[in-house]
């Protein structure tokens, strides 16, 4: 078989581009691995309480300044732990004044979960071994549903809470 000179050049170029593409893809996916947007902050998923933010009494909503709040969340199959209300009842609803700046910090103790507050910019992946965090300003009043948007097992659809932004 006779290949024309330009055919050879383009075959080498095409093959080379494919190899280069696969190398870049492989480096990104396997060597760098996956991590949340707020990557870099690690935590032991089997002992999240070792980090002060995720001690049980610090879960849920905490006011840190006039219009600044922190919400610490521990996700696990199949619920979000937002602490308790002081009378032993698990919190599943939080209220935040409109215009507040809120830092959401979340970890998981088992598999990958999602943390999405539908209708807001809060949308994170929560991966074992990492603290996912995102700071937002909540300017729209209403009740928003905090849902898990990463399939995590049979109880995936039961993972939710509500966030109400009040005037």
How many Å apart are CA 21 and CA 24, to the nearest integer? 5
User: Which of these segments, 37-45, 95-103, 127-135, 150-158, binds ligand CUA (CB under 6 A)?
Assistant: 150-158
Site residues (CB under 6 A) for ligand CUA, limited to 106-135:
113
Minimum CB separation from ligand CUA for residue 121, in Å? 20
The 10 Å Cβ neighbour count of residue 78 is 17
| 45 in contact with ligand CUA (CB under 6 A) | no
* 47-53 long-range Cβ contacts below 8 angstroms, 24+ apart: 48/74, 48/107, 48/109, 51/107, 51/131, 53/105, 53/131
Q: Does residue 150 touch ligand CUA according to CB under 6 A?
A: yes
What is the separation, in whole angstroms, between the first and last Cα of the chain? Answer: 78
Q: Does 27 bind ligand CUA (CB under 6 A)?
A: no
Judge whether 105 and 70 are in contact, CB under 8 Å. Answer: yes
Q: How far is the CB of 71 from ligand CUA (least distance, A)?
A: 17
The CA distance from 67 to 137, in Å, is: 10
Q: Which of 8, 34, 151, 164 binds ligand CUA (CB under 6 A)?
A: 151
List the one residue from 35, 39, 98, 156 that touches ligand CUA (CB under 6 A): 156
**Near ligand CUA by CB under 6 A: residue from 159, 161, 163, 165:** 159
Among 19-27, 48-56, 81-89, 148-156, the segment contacting ligand CUA (CB under 6 A): 148-156
Q: What are the Cα distances from residue 48, in Å, to 3, 144, 162? A: 63, 27, 23
Is 148 one of the binding residues for ligand CUA (CB under 6 A)?
yes
Residue with Cβ nearer ligand CUA (161 or 165): 161
Structure tokens at 81: 């732990």
Q: Which residues are near ligand CUA by CB under 6 A?
A: 113, 148, 150-152, 156, 159
């Amino acid at each position: 078989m006779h290949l024309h000179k330009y055919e050879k050049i383009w075959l080498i170029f095409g093959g080379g581009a494919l190899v280069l593409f696969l190398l870049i893809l492989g480096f990104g996916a396997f060597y760098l691995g996956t991590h949340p947007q707020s990557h870099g902050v690690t935590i032991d998923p089997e002992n999240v309480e070792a980090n002060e933010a995720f001690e049980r009494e610090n879960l849920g909503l905490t006011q840190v300044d006039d219009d600044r709040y922190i919400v610490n969340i521990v996700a696990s199959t199949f619920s979000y732990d937002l602490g308790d209300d002081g009378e032993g009842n698990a919190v599943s609803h939080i209220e935040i004044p409109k215009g507040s700046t809120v830092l959401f910090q979340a970890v998981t103790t088992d598999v990958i979960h999602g943390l999405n507050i539908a209708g807001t910019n809060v949308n994170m992946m929560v991966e074992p071994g990492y603290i996912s965090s995102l700071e937002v300003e909540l300017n729209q009043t209403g009740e928003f549903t905090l849902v898990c948007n990463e399939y995590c097992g049979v109880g995936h659809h039961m993972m939710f809470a509500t966030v109400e932004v009040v005037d």
